Amino acid sequence: MDWCSRSNPRRERRGTIGSGLAGARLLRPASAPPRERPEGAGSIVQEQPVLCDGRRRGYGPQSGVTVAVATQASELEWQVRAACRGPQAVMFFPPSTFERKDEKADREQRAKAICASCSVRKDCLEYALRIREPHGIWGGLNELERRVLLSK
C-alpha cells in the first residue's frame, strides 16, 4: 500500500529518479501530546520521518543522531523583555506590499526610537549579528547598517 498523508505531484514514482523524501511523514501525529525534553537539553530533537513505503530515514531519535533545530531557550530570554513586543512589532519589518522610500524611512525611524529605550538592545543586536539576520530592525540597526558592522 502506498499511502501518504498528502499527495505531492513531485513525489518519487517507480522508475523515476527522486530523493524519496517528498512523501515523508512524522512518526508521531501532530495531535499527539508533546514529548518531555531530555534533562539538560537545549535543542529540539527532530522526529524520524517514515517514507510512504514504510522505510525510515537514517536520522532522528532511533538512529542516535539528533538534529538541533532551535537555539537554547535561555539564550532567547531577552526577547520577552524587548520593547518591540506587541502590536508595534510590525514597524520592525517591511510590509508584504511595496513600500516607498519615504515610508520606509519613517517606519524605520519609529522602530529605532522604540529600540533606543529598550533594555535588551545590546542582546538583540548581538543575536541579529550572530545569526546574520537579513531583514528588519534589530538592536536599533537596519539590515544595511548591520551588514556594514559585519564587514568590519
pLDDT in the model for residue 149: 93
DSSP for 5-59? SS--TTS--TTS---S-TT-EESS-TTSPPPPPPTT--SPBPPPEE-TTSPBPS-
pTM of the model: 0.53
Query: Which CA distances in Å does 2 have to 18, 47, 94, 132, 146?
Result: 16, 21, 44, 42, 49
Q: Is the dihedral of CA 103, 109, 114, 120 positive or negative?
A: positive
Mean pLDDT of 15-29: 46
26 touches 49 (CB < 8 A):
yes
The distance of Cα 34 from the centroid of its chain, to the nearest Å, equals 19
- Model confidence pLDDT, tens digit, residues 39-48: 555 544 444 4
Confidence of residue 76 (pLDDT cuts 50, 70, 90): confident
- Model confidence pLDDT, tens digit, residues 90-146: 999 999 999 999 999 999 999 999 999 999 999 999 999 999 999 999 999 999 999
What are the residue ranges spanned by the domains of the chain? 1-70, 74-151
Does residue 52 register a pLDDT over 80?
Answer: no
Q: Which residue has the higher pLDDT, 135 or 37?
A: 135
Percent of the residues in the chain that have a pLDDT greater than 70, as a whole number: 51
